[in-house]
Amino acid sequence: MSNFSPGFHGRTHRFEGRLPPGQYPTESFPVLSAGPTPHVPTEDWSFTVTAEQGRARRWDWEEMMSLPQEEVTVDIHCVTRWSKFDTVWRGVSVDTFLDGVETTADFAVAHGEGGYTTNLPLEDLRGGKAWLVHTYDGFPLSPEHGGPVRLLVPHLYFWKSAKWVTGLSLTLQDEPGFWEAAGYHNYGDPWREQRAWSD
Amino acid sequence: MSAWHSARLVGRREQSRTGRTLLFDVPGWPGHLAGQHVDVRLSADDGYRAVRSYSLAAPARGTGIELGVQTVPGGEVSPYLAHELPVGAEVEVRGPLGGWFVWRPGQEDPVLLVAGGCGIVPLMGMVRSHRLEGSRAPMRLVYSVRDPGQVWYREELTTGTGAAAASRILYTRQAPPGSSRPPGHIGAGDLLPPEGAGRLPVLCFVCGPTGFVEHAAGLLSAAGHAPDRIRTERFG
């Protein structure tokens, strides 16, 4: 019997292999945002990919909805330690938006309504690993969860899945985003528990 | 930042039916800013560990820190911390954490703190830091609870000085006898800037359950506060 939390037993079911270190499973869907929730009507929404030489391609809501749609079921992991299994989303693969974009960039910055930014290596957005999603669990994605459209990058901590996503800038240099500049890890792999700068 | 410290429980106080103040001594604690939180790690005898985040409710007293714990029914960690962890026993803590939802005593901007339920905990840290530092920034706390039995820090908020004296407690379901405001959800008229703010832009901190924060932050936006002056922290 140690003197650390004597008498603590924890859950009987431990989710081995599915729960990254330091996480716990939740049935609810907590919301984490740094500020008030923007309410963006779909008719005002657009998404712009800007390559490093400044060349831009833009999609409005209807153009995005006419692209090939995918349904994905993934586990998501928030740096505040909750994980949620088997979340079901519908949207467009980021590969589809990047198809035909000329770039030699290694990095990307995702932009969200209200000035939110988060940075990722471009390869983490390619190869069927990331989507722009507009539907959660069969319903339109609500504003507090990032609707009308958010980025979904489930293999990284969820702050990388920018809410209210409006654009993607492809960059030659890595440019830390909002939380990354505020002390959170630059890459954010849940399985290596990369929560803070020093992890 | 990522080191785990041993933290010894030195006191526990009841705040409400479901809320507890926990006082820990953390040798080597580096100090923290109002609004920050810590991760608390519990270990079972078989090596299993569980970690949750809890807000710091007061400025550090040397190596002493104060956390607020709201019991979640059926929760894995909060009922143990609130009821079972013996005084004198240890847990591990990591922190301080968080760099956005913080108030620094040097800031002179008027501050409006908006708490829903146990969202009071980090905001109480700001009220106490404001008093301890003798800050001249106008500060006001608006604190929304279901009923009188749910008020944390009651004595301090009703008889205190400084920013605590300027606090206002609102009741959504049941108000104490003699209240001039009928029970109801927080409204635009409840979210006035602190006395002395004049026309200066106010810095707002909103903390509580998701629905409360969405509602209150929406009211503040509608009242003309710029989105980048409204900092939020949502629970559950």
- Per-residue tens of pLDDT for chain B, all 236 residues: 468 999 999 999 999 989 999 999 999 999 999 999 999 999 999 999 999 999 999 999 999 999 999 999 889 999 999 999 999 999 999 999 988 999 999 999 999 999 999 999 999 999 999 999 999 999 999 999 999 999 999 999 988 777 777 899 999 999 999 899 999 999 999 999 999 998 899 999 999 999 999 999 999 999 999 999 999 999 86
**CATH assignment of A40-192?**
3.90.420.10
| Whole-number pLDDT of residue A54 | 95
* Averaged pLDDT score across all residues of chain B: 94
B53 belongs to a structural domain: yes
| Whole-number pLDDT of residue A2 | 63
The span from the CA of A183 to the CA of B195, in Å, is: 34
Q: What is the CATH number of the domain that holds B132?
A: 3.40.50.80
| Whole-number pLDDT of residue B108 | 92
Class of residue A187 by CB neighbours under 10 A (exposed 0-12, middle 13-18, buried 19+): middle
Same domain, B74 and B26: yes
Range name among A12-26, A178-192, B115-129 with the lowest pLDDT average: A12-26
| Whole-number pLDDT of residue B78 | 95
Same domain, B84 and B164: no
Q: Name the residue among A139, A31, A154 with its Cα closest to residue A94.
A: A154
Same domain, B16 and B85: yes
Over pLDDT 90: what percentage of chain A? 84
Same domain, B230 and B118: yes
- pLDDT tens digits along A47-103: 999 999 999 999 999 999 999 999 999 999 999 999 999 999 999 999 999 999 999
Task: Give which of B43, B114, B191 to mutate to test A binding, by max A Cβ within 10 Å.
Answer: B43
Phi first, then psi, for residue A70 (nearest 5°) are -125, 145
Tokens 């471009």 locate to: A122
A to B CB pairs, distance under 8 Å: 110
Same domain, B74 and B176: no
How far CA B227 is from CA of A162, B201, B214, in Å, comes to 17, 12, 13
B103 belongs to a structural domain: no
Instruction: Indicate yes or no: CB of A196 within 8 angstroms of CB of B48.
Output: no
- pLDDT tens digits along A122-133: 999 999 999 999
| Whole-number pLDDT of residue B1 | 47
Same domain, B140 and B229: yes
Q: For residue B96, is the peptide bond before it cis, meaning its omega torsion is within 30 degrees of 0?
A: yes
Q: Name the residue among B83, B77, B93 with its Cα closest to residue A26.
A: B77
Same domain, B62 and B116: no
Chain B residues with CB under 8 Å of A146 CB are none
Q: Name the residue among B112, B124, B82 with its Cα closest to residue B229.
A: B112
Domains: count for chain B: 2
Distance of CA A165 to the CA centre of its chain: 10
Same domain, B118 and B226: yes
Residues 6+ positions from B94 with CB-CB distance below 8 Å? B1, B2, B3, B4, B5, B38, B39, B41
Residues 6+ positions from B68 with CB-CB distance below 8 Å? B15, B19, B20, B21, B22, B54, B55, B57, B118, B120, B121, B124, B152
One-letter identity of residue B159: T
Question: Closest to A37 (Cβ–Cβ): which among B39, B214, B231?
Answer: B214
| Whole-number pLDDT of residue A34 | 86
Q: Is the pTM here over 0.85, yes or no? A: yes
Instruction: Indicate yes or no: CB of B76 within 8 angstroms of CB of A32.
Output: no
Same domain, B116 and B230: yes
Bridge partner list, B233:
B207
For residue A65, give the 3-state DSSP assignment. Answer: helix
| Whole-number pLDDT of residue B11 | 98
Maximum distance among all Cα pairs of chain A, rounded to whole angstroms: 64
Q: What is the CATH number of the domain that holds B29?
A: 2.40.30.10
- pLDDT tens digits along A22-45: 999 988 888 888 899 999 999 999
Same domain, B123 and B223: yes
Chain A residues with CB under 8 Å of B49 CB are 10, 22
B10 belongs to a structural domain: yes
Tell me whether A36 touches chain B (CB under 8 Å).
yes
Please name the residue of chain B whose CA is at the shortest distance from the CA of residue A9: B44
Chain A residues with CB under 8 Å of B51 CB are 22, 24, 81
Domains of chain A, by residue range, sit at 40-192
Q: Which domain holds residue B29?
A: 4-97
